[in-house]
A and B are shown apart, each in its own frame.
Chain A
Amino acid sequence: MIFLLLRRFTALAITLLLASIAIFLVLEILPGDPAAIMLGTEAREDTLAALRREMGLDRPAYERYLNWLGGALSGNLGLSMTYKVPVAELVADRLAVTFPLAFLAILISTAMAVPLGVIAAANHERPADHGVMLFSQIGVAIPNFWFGLLLILFFSSYLGWFSAGGFPGWDDPVAALKALLLPAVALALPQAAILARVTRSSVLEVLGEDFVRTARAKGLTRRVALRRHVLRNALIPVVTVMGMQFSFLVAGAILVENVFTLPGLGRLLFQAMSQRDLVVIKDVVLLFAALVIVVNFLVDLAYAWLDPRLRQG
C-alpha cells in the first residue's frame, strides 16, 4: 500500500514537472523574446529593455524556469504586467468564483447523472432507458456555452428570474450562489449526459454479475440489491470517468465564465490573452493544468479506496 502510494506520488510529481516545463517552453522559449510579444511591435526600445529586465530575461532560461517553479510552489507568482498587482492576488480573487462554479457543476451533474443512469439500467431496453439514452446523446452534442446562452435567453431575458451575468461577490452569499446557478447548470449538462451514459452501462454490467444473484437469493428486493450491491461496484468506473472529464470541465469553465461575464480564472485567462500578459497566462495555465493532473491523481486514489481488491495492491 505504501509502496503503491509512493509510486503514484512520484508519477504525479513527474507529470506536474513535465507540464510546467511544457508551459515554460511554449510561453518563454518558443517566442524568442516574450517581452516583444507582450508589448507589441510598436513598443519603444527602452520600455522593452525595462520589461526584459523586470521579467529577468537577461538570465539563463533554466534559472528563470527554476525561479518561476520555486515561486509557484511558494505562492509567489510574479507581477501581472497589465494589472500591476501580484498574480497570486489576482488568482486568489478569481479562484473564489471558479472553484465554487466547478464544484456546483460537478454536484449538479452527479445529482442528475447517477439517478438517471441507474433508472435507465434498471429499466433496460424499456422507454425510460431509451429516454435517458436520448437525453445523453443530445446533452453531449450541446456546447455548454450555447446552452448558457439559451439559459440566459429563457431565464433572464424571457422570465427575468436571473440577471444575465456578472457576479455580486461573496458578501451576499445568496446572490452569489444565484449568479453561479445558471452557469453551473450550463457547465453541468454535457457532463451529466456523459456520466449518465457511463453510470448506465456500469450498472448494467454489475447487474449481470453473479453476486447480485446471490444477493437476490438472500431475499433482498431488486431495489435493495441495487442499492447495497450494485451501486458501490458500479460507481468505480463512474468516478474514473468523472476524473477524466475534469479537463473538459476546466475548458468549459473558461467558456461559460465568458458567457456569463463571471470574474473567474477563465475570464482572467481570456483577458490576459487579449492583453498578451504572458506572466498571467503562464501562471493560470499552470494552475489549470495542475488542477487537472491533481484531480486525476485523487481519482486514482479514490479508485483504490472504492475497490478493496486494489487496496492491498
Chain B
Amino acid sequence: MLEVRNLSVGIATPSGPLALVEEVDFRLEAGRTLGIVGESGSGKSMLALALMGLLPPAARASGSIRLEGDELIGLPEAALCRIRGKRIGMIFQEPMTALNPAMTVGEQIAEGVQWHENLGRRAARARALDLLQRVGIPEAARRLDDYPHQMSGGQRQRVGIAIALACRPRLLIADEPTTALDVTVQAQILDLLRELVAEMGMGLILISHDLGVIAETADDTLVMYAGMPVETGSSAAIFARPAHPYTRGLFLAMPGHAGVPAGAGQRLQTIPGSVPEPGRRPSGCRFADRCAYVIEACRAAVPPWEPLPGGQQARCIRLEELP
C-alpha cells in the first residue's frame, strides 16, 4: 500500500546542501504497523513530515513515495492538499499544543470532513460525534462543544486521533503519540491505536524513541540512526536477535532490560556520546564514532545492507564477527 524507495531529505544552507534523511526504503501493507525507532536527531520526525509533504520550506525530499500506486514526490501543493487528511492522517506528539485553543474539539474534528468530503455542517458534526465516541471519550455528545483546555492530555490526544481518522485515511502516521503522556494513559492510547488499525484496516507508521512502545505495537521495525536506517525486519526477529551494534545499544539501554536498572530513562547510557548533527556525521558508517567495534574499513563507505535470516537486514560490515 505504501512503498518508500530511496527517500532522502535535504536542506539548503548557506554552506551548501545538507542531508537530513538518507536512503530510506520500506513497504507497509494495509492493516499492518511499522515502527520507526531512533534517538532524537535520528531524522525520524523529518521522515514523517516528508511522507506528509509538510517539510519546512527550505527542505526538499527526493526519491519515491508511492501511496496505493500514486507517486507523492513532486506532486504540486494543491494535489498534496487533497491527499493530506484524506488518504494520510497524522497524529502529533504534543496534545497540549496540537489543538487550536480557540475552536471547539467538535469543529476541529469536523473541519477535515467538511473540507474533503463537502459534507454539510450537520453531517460533519454527526461524524465528529461518532469519531469522538470511537476514540473512547465518555459522554462524547456533551464534550463535542468543549474547548481543548477543558480536556486532559490523554483526552486531547484522543481528539488528535479522531482528527487524523476523520476521513478514514488508508495510512496513519503517529509521531511520538504517547511521549507527552503519563504511563497509564500511554498504554490506553496504544491500545486504542491497535484496535483502530485492526478495525479499520489501515496502515500505521508509529514513530517513537521508546522500544517498549514499538515492541507492543509494531509488526515490523525500522531502526534509524543519524538520518539513515541501520536495521530493519519483523519486530519479532529484531527483538529476539538485534543485529546492528546500535540496535543492541538501544536494547541495553531499555529500562527493565537485564543489567539495566528499571527507570534508567531515555538516555542511552550504554552508548557513549550522542547522535551527531547533520553535517557532523561521519562519512562511512554513520555510527562509527560511537561504535565499540569500529575498524578502519567501517569509515571507508556506507555499509551495504547485510541480509539475515527471516528477512531481517542490518547495515554493518562486521555482523559475523560480533559477539
Chain A residues packing against B (C-beta within 8 Å): 209-211, 213-222, 224, 228-229, 232-233, 306-309, 312
Distance (whole angstroms) from the CB of B27 to the closest CB of chain A: 23
Evaluate whether A210 and B112 lie within 8 angstroms (CB atoms) in the complex, with A217-B89, A218-B163 already known.
no
A-B residue pairs, 10 tightest by C-beta: A219-B85, A218-B85, A218-B112, A210-B97, A219-B84, A217-B90, A211-B100, A308-B147, A210-B98, A309-B149
Q: Closest residue of chain A to B85, judged by CB? A: A219
Q: Is the CB of B90 within 8 A of A308?
A: no
Alpha-carbon separation in the docked complex, A312 to B151 (Å): 13
A-B contact pairs, 9 of them (CB 8 A): A217-B52, A219-B115, A219-B116, A221-B77, A221-B78, A232-B103, A233-B101, A307-B101, A308-B102
Main secondary structure of the interface of A (DSSP, over half): helix
**Residues of B close to A221: CB separation below 8 A:** 77-78, 81
Q: Closest residue of chain B to A236, judged by CB? A: B102
Q: Is the CB of A210 within 8 A of B149?
A: no
A-facing residues in B82-99 (Cβ within 8 Å):
82-86, 89-90, 92, 94, 97-99
Evaluate whether A215 and B100 lie within 8 angstroms (CB atoms) in the complex, with A210-B94, A220-B115 already known.
yes
**Residues of A close to B112: CB separation below 8 A:** 218-219
Q: Is B164 an interface residue (CB 8 A)?
A: yes
**Residues of B close to A222: CB separation below 8 A:** 77
Alpha-carbon separation in the docked complex, A224 to B115 (Å): 10
- The CB with the most chain B CB atoms within 10 A, among A214, A218, A228, A309, is that of A218
Q: Is the CB of A214 within 8 A of B160?
A: yes
Alpha-carbon separation in the docked complex, A121 to B319 (Å): 52
Identify which of A213, A214, A219 contacts B81 (C-beta below 8 A): A219
Q: Is B46 an interface residue (CB 8 A)?
A: no
**Residues of B close to A214: CB separation below 8 A:** 92, 98-100, 108, 160, 163
Chain B residues packing against A (C-beta within 8 Å): 52, 54, 77-78, 81-86, 89-90, 92, 94, 97-103, 108, 111-112, 115-116, 147, 149-150, 160, 163-164, 166
**Residues of B close to A306: CB separation below 8 A:** 102
Q: Is the CB of B54 within 8 A of A216?
A: yes
Identify which of A213, A215, A219, A233 contacts B86 (C-beta below 8 A): A219
Identify which of A218, A308, A312 contacts B111 (C-beta below 8 A): A218
Evaluate whether A233 and B81 lie within 8 angstroms (CB atoms) in the complex, with A213-B92, A219-B112, A228-B111 already known.
no
Q: Is the CB of A209 within 8 A of B97?
A: yes
**Residues of A close to B83: CB separation below 8 A:** 219
Alpha-carbon separation in the docked complex, A277 to B78 (Å): 67
Q: Is the CB of A229 within 8 A of B86?
A: no
Q: Closest residue of chain A to B94, judged by CB? A: A210
Distance (whole angstroms) from the CB of B64 to the closest CB of chain A: 21
Distance (whole angstroms) from the CB of A165 to the closest CB of chain B: 44
Identify which of A218, A228, A307, A308 contacts B166 (C-beta below 8 A): A218
Alpha-carbon separation in the docked complex, A28 to B164 (Å): 68
Q: Closest residue of chain B to A211, judged by CB? A: B100
- The CB with the most chain B CB atoms within 10 A, among A211, A213, A214, is that of A214
Q: Is the CB of A211 within 8 A of B98?
A: yes
**Residues of A close to B90: CB separation below 8 A:** 217
Q: Is the CB of A210 within 8 A of B92?
A: yes
Distance (whole angstroms) from the CB of A309 to the closest CB of chain B: 5
Evaluate whether A308 and B78 lie within 8 angstroms (CB atoms) in the complex, with A219-B116, A233-B102 already known.
no
Distance (whole angstroms) from the CB of B29 to the closest CB of chain A: 23
Evaluate whether A213 and B100 lie within 8 angstroms (CB atoms) in the complex, with A219-B84, A219-B85, A221-B81 already known.
no
Identify which of B85, B147, B150 contacts A217 (C-beta below 8 A): B85
Alpha-carbon separation in the docked complex, A214 to B85 (Å): 10
Given pairs A211-B99, A213-B92, A217-B84, 7 additional interface contacts (CB within 8 A): A210-B94, A214-B98, A217-B54, A220-B85, A221-B77, A232-B103, A309-B149
Distance (whole angstroms) from the CB of B65 to the closest CB of chain A: 16
- The CB with the most chain B CB atoms within 10 A, among A210, A219, A222, A312, is that of A219
